[in-house]
Amino acid sequence: QYIRVVLTAASTTSWWSIDEFTVYSNGSGGSTTPPPATGGSLGSNVYVFNTGMSEASIQSQLNTIANAQVSNQFGTQRYSILFDPGTYGTAADPLDFQVGFYTSVAGLGQNPGQVVINGSINSYNQCSGTTCNATDNFWRSVSNLTINVAGNTGCGAGEDFWAASQESPLRRVQVNGNLSLMDYCVGGPGYASGGFISDSVFSGGTVTNGSQQQYIARNSTIDSWSNAVWNQVFCGDNGAPAQSFASNSGDSGGPNSYTTLATCPQTQEEPYLYVDSSGNYNVFVPSEQTNSSGPTWTNGNTPGTSLPFSSFYVVNSASTVAQINAALAAGDNLLVTPGVYNVPSTISVTHPDTKIVGLGFPTLIPTNGNVTMNVADVSGVNVSGLIFDAGSTSSPALLQLGTQGSTVSHAGDPVSVDDVTFRVGGAEAGTANTAFVDDSNNSLIDDVWAWRADHGAGAGSWTSDQGNTGAVVNGNNVTAYGLAVEHFQQYETEWNGQGGTVVFFQNENPYEVPNQAAWMASSTQDGYPAFYIPNSVTSFQGYGMGSYSYFNQGVNIQNAMAFQAPQTSGVQFHDLLTVWLNGSGSINSVINGTGAAVSSTNGGPSDVVSYQ
């Protein structure tokens, strides 16, 4: 009898007789031995906790990671925290911990009820002097577990705090008790700026939106949601607030800015790692859904397919692109362990249904001006949990899906991208013409943030961290949920495909535009729209889409419109808005000259309820 073993230290795959040794490294290949606390073959920055460990030791390790990561916005450390099935903490002795940058927390059960935390998992404001906000709380996540809210004393008693902004998703969680999406205790209430929830249940308490400026929740169950600020979008959520977006939403005394869709047109939940009843690692791939509402797991197991751990090539610091591409060519999936990886040539995904799963926000950086990852025009590929950083030599794109102009339909088995960040600058100075190019018909975009940095390395100069466009979608019938694109220097999002749907879009214009002449869509059009659809497109639906300005050079920069699209009956927008955040200049209309300007004299929001 033989088993296939991935030797991650040497990054090779070999066949061994099962009689030659005993497997202790990762619990796969038939072994029922759980991995060691450091994650075994998953790497030293993967921590797997089990109920045989003392709560004191678990708490100590969690505190150590949090102390290192809470302020480590642009560091290179990455962590994945995993809990084996079981119950951790008690009401009398709760397990309370913080989640900082580049830290993913997940349960290893097949469903969220198999890992229970009696306590709280928190993200708090960060303070600079006397100003405390959560607007920079990025790159952290919680998934696939249940929180029975307990602990947190004083001001925060009875609350779990998830004060976070972009790319800090909550997926497949059940929170029994109160959840606050802002932090009103640490120098608060402070601002938070964007978030994503899917496939979750919130019961026995209130989700307090508070100062959270924009948010999307989809395919979840919500007992109570407290309020809105500018742009709160609900899609397929049981118990969601009723549709109420109006021309005066966000104004004092105006209605809440709620955009509510009863069902989501097409979804597929993110693949996730779990441990089966024999103690073996697997990756579960949920099935695609159409016209869906509510969580996938509340009436039994999530529908889908389980992939054995042996089908994954485990990428670690010793892996080369040649080895990764050889594994992909052989039909392997990829499990990318926490770390920062230089990528001197393109990672090429050629087989259909390949799953690329990142643990702990692994980060890929092209070093030769290459495309970081290219996915061929095949069906069913998923890319999840990664950060794509631009390198110092300009790349044409960081992630490329499909082939431009393809007529191949992937409707029955779409390519999907989940919880992925694209960064131009911030952690290191970089440049890319376009961050994300999607040429794959019928693809699904689910929580994607393309960010040209407004702070950090290379930021603050119009000639540094060059990036024209954050996202270009050429594929037809592409559906996006929770798309954020910020600070790019030309059209920030260009949507060229037919039949597209966007449910929630968030944008900030570039901050550091030096003068109007440097930022013109044409000789007669000031600025660039955040979301551009050319006249060739005849069908599109957009819901809950916002764009904000903060021109910070003291120059009167004008943006003619935040959204630009053909005026045809098949292209429709619902619940659009603009806001002037600070600085100089203005956004002069919401879409195509419609919608009031926002500026220092009228900060907004400026709302357009319907446009076609």
pLDDT tens digit string along 532-590?
999 999 999 999 999 999 999 999 999 999 999 999 999 999 999 999 999 999 999 99
In a domain, 231, yes or no: yes
Looking at per-residue confidence, does 42 or 105 come out higher? Answer: 105
The last residue of one of the domains, among 218, 234, 268, is 268
Sign (positive or negative) of CA dihedral 298, 303, 308, 314 = negative
Q: Let me know the angle formed at the C-alpha of 513 by 508 and 515, rounded to the nearest 5 degrees.
A: 140
Instruction: Tell me what the mean pLDDT of segment 36-62 comes to.
Output: 87
For residues 354 and 253, state if they share a domain: no
Domain harbouring 472, CATH code:
2.160.20.10
Q: Let me know the angle formed at the C-alpha of 535 by 532 and 539, rounded to the nearest 5 degrees.
A: 85
Strand 103-107 and strand 86-88: pairing? unpaired
Q: Which residues contact 516 (CB under 8 A, 6 or more apart)?
A: 526, 527, 555, 556, 557, 558
Asked whether residue 191 carries a pLDDT value surpassing 50, the answer given is: yes
Convert 241-309 into a string of H (helix), E (strand) and C (coil): CCCCCCCCCCCCCCCCCEEEECCEEEEECCCEEEECCCCCEEEEEECEEEEECCCCCCCCCCCEEEEEH
Residue type, position 230, single letter: W
Could you list the residue range(s) of the whole structural domain that residue 88 is in?
34-268
Which ranges of 31-123 does DSSP label H, i.e. alpha helix?
A: 55-69
pLDDT at 568: 96
For residues 487 and 565, state if they share a domain: yes
Asked whether residue 111 carries a pLDDT value surpassing 90, the answer given is: yes
Q: How much is the pTM?
A: 0.94
In a domain, 558, yes or no: yes
For residues 250 and 347, state if they share a domain: no
In a domain, 264, yes or no: yes
In a domain, 7, yes or no: no
How many CA atoms does the CB half-sphere of 504 hold within 13 Å? 32
Instruction: Tell me what the mean pLDDT of segment 83-105 comes to.
Output: 98
Asked whether residue 13 carries a pLDDT value surpassing 90, the answer given is: no
pLDDT tens digit string along 120-178?
999 999 999 999 999 999 999 999 999 999 999 999 999 999 999 999 999 999 999 99
pLDDT at 38: 55
For residues 340 and 208, state if they share a domain: no
pLDDT tens digit string along 208-262?
999 999 999 999 999 999 999 999 999 999 999 999 999 999 998 999 999 999 9
For residues 246 and 389, state if they share a domain: no
Asked whether residue 35 carries a pLDDT value surpassing 90, the answer given is: no
Alpha carbon 427 to its chain's center = 17
Distance (Å, whole) CA 63 – CA 66: 5
Strand 288-292 and strand 264-268: pairing? antiparallel
Number of domains in the chain: 2
Instruction: Tell me what the mean pLDDT of segment 272-281 comes to.
Output: 95
pLDDT at 171: 98
User: Which of 167, 494, 508, 512 is labelled catalytic?
Assistant: 508
In a domain, 172, yes or no: yes
pLDDT at 317: 93
For residues 459 and 601, state if they share a domain: yes
Asked whether residue 63 carries a pLDDT value surpassing 90, the answer given is: yes
Give the C-alpha distances (Å, rounded to integers) separating 397 from 343, 365, 370, 405: 13, 12, 8, 17
For residues 345 and 464, state if they share a domain: yes
pLDDT at 301: 95
For residues 254 and 400, state if they share a domain: no
For residues 432 and 545, state if they share a domain: yes
For residues 253 and 386, state if they share a domain: no
pLDDT at 40: 58
3-state secondary structure of 481: strand
Asked whether residue 6 carries a pLDDT value surpassing 50, the answer given is: no
pLDDT at 188: 81
Asked whether residue 19 carries a pLDDT value surpassing 60, the answer given is: no
The reply to whether 508 belongs to the active site is: yes
pLDDT tens digit string along 68-90?
999 999 999 999 999 999 999 99
For residues 385 and 518, state if they share a domain: yes
The last residue of one of the domains, among 240, 268, 296, is 268
Distance (Å, whole) CA 177 – CA 199: 17
Residue type, position 302, single letter: T
For residues 470 and 571, state if they share a domain: yes
Instruction: Tell me what the mean pLDDT of segment 431-456 comes to.
Output: 98
pLDDT at 39: 60
pLDDT tens digit string along 466-507?
999 999 999 999 999 999 999 999 999 999 999 999 999 999
Sign (positive or negative) of CA dihedral 270, 271, 273, 276 = positive
The last residue of one of the domains, among 214, 242, 268, is 268
Give the C-alpha distances (Å, rounded to integers) separating 124 from 100, 103, 575: 9, 14, 30
pLDDT at 27: 31
Token readout for 364 is 């890929």
Asked whether residue 461 carries a pLDDT value surpassing 80, the answer given is: yes
pLDDT tens digit string along 384-436?
999 999 999 999 999 999 999 999 999 999 999 999 999 999 999 999 999 99
In a domain, 281, yes or no: no
In a domain, 12, yes or no: no
Q: What is the mean pLDDT of the chain?
A: 93
Token readout for 23 is 């497997």
Asked whether residue 9 carries a pLDDT value surpassing 90, the answer given is: no
In a domain, 9, yes or no: no
Nearest alpha carbon to residue 28 among 10, 50, 13:
13
